[in-house]
Every structure is written in C-alpha cells, then in structure tokens.
C-alpha cells in the first residue's frame, strides 16, 4: 500500500434546494430544467442559470428520488450470468443499451450470483426496474416474473434459446445453428455425423437445442447423429480421438470453433485426416478458424439490428398489452472453408 495525492474535500451532498437557492428559482424549476422536461416553458437565461448553479455546486439529480416522485422508474435491468458473454452477445447487449439510452432509459446490469431463480428475481425487484431483459444464462421462472411484475416491471423479456411462460421472448434459436451445420455436411456427402456436447453445465442451454436442430436436419435426409460428450480440455479430446475409428463417423459438428480447434488438433495428433476421413465444422466464425490448417468451416450467426428492439421494449413498457410477444433474432449461415 502506498499513498497518492489528496482526495477532494468532504462536504454535505448538495441538494436541488441548494441549486434553487443559488440560482434564485423554485425547486420545481430546478427539477424541470435538469430533467429536461420539455412540457414546461422556461426561458433560456433561467435554464442557463440553473445549469451553472448545478455545475458550481456539483449537483446531479437523484434517479431514485425522481422515480419515487414520478411513481415509476426509467430503469431497465439486464441481469448478467456467471460467465462472460460471447462477443456476439456482448456486442448486441451493448447496442441495446445504447438504443435504450437514446430513449432516455437508464440501463443497469445486475448479477444473479448463484441465487436461485426466485431470490434473484426478488433482488432485481428491489431496484424497481420498469423493464427486465434476462439472458438465457440467467434463471427466470414464471414465479420470478410474477414478483417482478407485482413490483412494477411493465415488461419482462427473456433473451435466449427458449421462451419462459409469462415473459416476452427475444429468441436466439440455437436449433438453427445445429441444423445449418448438419445440412452443410449432408450436402457434402457426409451421413454419419457426430455432434459435440460440451460438458460444462452453463453451455447445456445452447448445446441441447443445437443437437435437436442437428437431429431434425438429419432426419430430413438419411443421416445419423451421434452425440459426443466432451470436456473443454486436451485429455478429454485425446480420449475421444483415441476411440474415433470405433465410432464410424465421417463428420463432426463441434459445437463451436473453440471446441472444433480442440478436437481437430486431437484428431490430427491421432493420425485422422481432416477433412478426408472426418469433416469438421465449428460455429461462431471466429478469426482463429481461418488460422488453422485446414482452415475451419463454421456457422456464422447474426442478430437483428438493435434499434427496433429498443423501440419494442419502449412500446411494451408504455402499452404492456395482455399477451407475451415472441421475436426471433438469430440468423445462421454455413461458411465453407477447408475442413469440410
């Protein structure tokens, strides 16, 4: 531990009354000016005087006090899961946050931290959000949704592979990803297709629907699907590669590019030629796939543009409606390179 320059001096927290006194206006006028209330006409010199007084005193409005007065909040809560969001997902959430901010919402993220679904919903409800957008990695039950709605949330959304009863559903349909990979392999003549199933519990939410999509695509042709449990470590991959020839497979959809990289290395180390003996397809279309030899085929995922979604959230906050809505966001396409 060492010491740095001194901190600013402590003092009482300035209030809107202090700003009103310094600017020589009423507290209501301070509130109208600093909350950008356009419904009330206030002269430009007065607005300027209020803003200068606020700056001089270091006053900022109190979001919670404002929402208590207004009887509703402008807070949109994004619960976060316990593992980092995929880059695609992260970018999407960031854009959504910016879109909601343009509509004057305050977006905060809040961890679920291993709480069970209902305790988590109660913790979120304590913040009195006007809307909640819960990613699929975060548990949300119909009971939890009821708690949130009873505490004033006008709209509750889930964002993930499956809808939850009582919430609006922003669907990222992972079945498309598995279906897309398997159709790509079938078009290239493969019929005995392994599907990697990561053993990390947090990934089951994505892996199960990817497998279901793979099965559906295979049943439309004459292909066979073989689920292949795999830990994301070298030992597990080497063990799978060691028994590869007993499985009688001619292709594998490896869940994603990171698992594909792991398995392709293990197959190559075991003398199995890719793609001659076994074709490999990943998903996510990461740059690292293009750095592998053979270059990795993949499934590219794209999400809808975000501003219409921010507008949707705003519409459902202002006019909640009776029925949950469902919107599909994800589009998947196969990207052919050398490994398939």
Residues 219-258 interacting with its own copies (rule: CB under 8 A)? 232-234, 258
HSE (side-chain half, CA atoms, 13 Å) at 254: 32
CB of 14 or CB of 227, closer to its own copies: 14
Interface residue with its own copies among 67, 174, 297, 339 (CB under 8 A) is 67
294 in Cβ contact with 339 (< 8 Å): yes
Query: In Å, what is the CA distance from 83 to each residue of 23, 135, 207?
Result: 48, 12, 16
101 binds its own copies (CB under 8 A): yes
Interface residue with its own copies among 180, 186, 324, 332 (CB under 8 A) is 324
Residues 147-186 that bind its own copies (CB under 8 A): 147, 149-152, 163, 165-167, 169
Residues 185-224 that bind its own copies (CB under 8 A): none
Tokens 């906050």 belong to residue: 317
φ, ψ for residue 245 (rounded to 5)? -70, -20
How many residues bind its own copies (CB under 8 A)? The answer is 79
CB of 53 or CB of 218, closer to its own copies: 53
Interface residue with its own copies among 37, 40, 90, 200 (CB under 8 A) is 90
192-198 and 106-111 strand pairing: unpaired
28 binds its own copies (CB under 8 A): no
123 binds its own copies (CB under 8 A): yes
CB of 73 to its own copies, least distance (A): 8
Interface residue with its own copies among 191, 325, 337, 338 (CB under 8 A) is 325
Per DSSP, 202 falls in state G
| Cα–Cα dist 236/156, whole Å | 40
| Stretch of 24-32, 44-52, 84-92, 130-138 contacting its own copies, by CB under 8 A | 84-92
Give the number of other Cβ atoms within 10 Å of residue 7's Cβ. Answer: 6
CB of 191 or CB of 231, closer to its own copies: 231
CB of 57 to its own copies, least distance (A): 8
Binding-residue pattern over the window 45 to 64 for its own copies, x denoting contact by CB under 8 A: ------------xxxxxxxx
Furthest-apart CA atoms within the chain: distance in Å:
86
| Cα–Cα dist 301/48, whole Å | 49
CB of 187 or CB of 328, closer to its own copies: 328
207 in Cβ contact with 198 (< 8 Å): yes
Per DSSP, 14 falls in state P
CB of 306 to its own copies, least distance (A): 13
142 in Cβ contact with 134 (< 8 Å): no
Interface residue with its own copies among 44, 222, 276, 287 (CB under 8 A) is 287
Tokens 């219409």 belong to residue: 308
CB of 170 or CB of 218, closer to its own copies: 170
CB of 166 or CB of 227, closer to its own copies: 166
CB of 88 or CB of 197, closer to its own copies: 88
HSE (side-chain half, CA atoms, 13 Å) at 72: 13
CB of 151 or CB of 216, closer to its own copies: 151
Interface residue with its own copies among 125, 217, 309, 313 (CB under 8 A) is 125
Q: Of 222, 174, 214, 221, nearest to 194 (Cα)?
A: 214
76 binds its own copies (CB under 8 A): no
Burial 197-226 (b: 16+ CB within 10 A, else e): bbeeeebebbbbbbbbbbbebbeeeebebe
């Amino acid at each position: 531990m060492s010491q740095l320059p001194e901190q600013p001096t402590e003092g009482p927290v300035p209030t809107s009354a202090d700003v009103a006194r310094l600017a020589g206006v009423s507290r209501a006028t301070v509130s109208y000016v600093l909350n950008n209330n356009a419904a009330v006409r206030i002269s430009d010199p007065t607005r300027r005087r209020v803003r200068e007084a606020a700056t001089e005193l270091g006053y900022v409005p109190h979001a919670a006090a404002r929402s208590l007065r207004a009887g509703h909040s402008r807070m949109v809560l994004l619960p976060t899961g316990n593992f980092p969001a995929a880059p695609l997902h992260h970018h999407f959430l960031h854009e959504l946050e910016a879109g909601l901010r343009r509509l004057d919402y305050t977006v905060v993220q809040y961890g679920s931290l291993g709480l069970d679904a209902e305790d988590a919903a109660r913790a979120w409800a304590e913040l009195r959000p006007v809307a909640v957008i819960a990613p699929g990695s975060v548990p949300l039950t119909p009971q939890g949704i009821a708690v949130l709605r009873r505490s004033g949330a006008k709209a509750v959304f889930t964002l993930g592979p499956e809808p939850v009863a009582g919430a609006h559903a922003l669907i990222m349909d992972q079945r498309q990803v598995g279906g897309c990979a398997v159709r790509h392999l079938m078009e290239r003549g493969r019929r005995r297709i392994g599907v990697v199933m990561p053993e990390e519990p947090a990934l089951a939410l994505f892996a199960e629907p990817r497998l279901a999509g793979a099965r559906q695509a295979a049943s439309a042709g004459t292909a066979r699907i073989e689920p292949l449990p795999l830990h994301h470590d070298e030992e597990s991959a080497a063990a799978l590669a060691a028994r590869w020839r007993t499985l009688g497979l001619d292709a594998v959809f490896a869940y994603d590019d990171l698992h594909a990289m792991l398995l392709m290395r293990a197959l190559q180390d075991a003398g199995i030629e890719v793609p001659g003996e076994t074709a490999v397809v990943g998903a996510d279309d990461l740059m690292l796939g293009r750095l592998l030899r053979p270059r990795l085929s993949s499934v590219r995922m794209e999400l809808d543009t975000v501003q219409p979604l921010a507008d949707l959230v705003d519409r459902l906050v202002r006019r909640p409606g009776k029925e949950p809505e469902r919107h599909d966001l994800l589009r998947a396409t196969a990207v052919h390179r050398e490994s398939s």
